[in-house]
Amino acid sequence: MVKSLYLILGCSVSNAIGQLLLKIGAKGIVLSLDIIKNYYLIAGLILYAASAVAMILALRTSDLSTVYPLTALGYVWVAFLSFFFFKDTLSFTNVLGICMIVCGSFFIAKGDIA
């Protein structure tokens, strides 16, 4: 299960960074063939694919009921990365929700390892 935890962590991080790259690439986008020259969008999609591969590898050895809830950590990564890179605001309720996600993920992972 420990290997699966690392895969899930990689899944959530690559998914979050992919989301940030898609956000950057989406600025001023015009739907045309020029979209294939948008390196931010391409990099974001590649990271989404890497995230899917990590998820598949984690599911080979772990239960879906454990693996899938842990992908919620992606929300945590996106919130903090958006705060630092895009200057998004994090309200008290946002931070409270993030803390709940982290605690829930800890209990899910801890229960499966024990």
In the block, residue with structure tokens 């899930």: 8
pTM for this model (two decimals): 0.81
Residue 28 has pLDDT above 80, yes or no: no
pLDDT digits (tens, 9 = 90+) for 71-103: 899 999 999 999 999 999 999 999 999 999 999
Residue 49 has pLDDT above 90, yes or no: yes
Q: Which residue segment(s) compose the domain that 15 sits in?
A: 2-113
Domain count, the chain: 1
DSSP category for residue 35: G
Q: CA-to-CA distance for 64 and 62, rounded, in angstroms?
A: 7
Q: CA-to-CA distance for 85 and 39, rounded, in angstroms?
A: 18
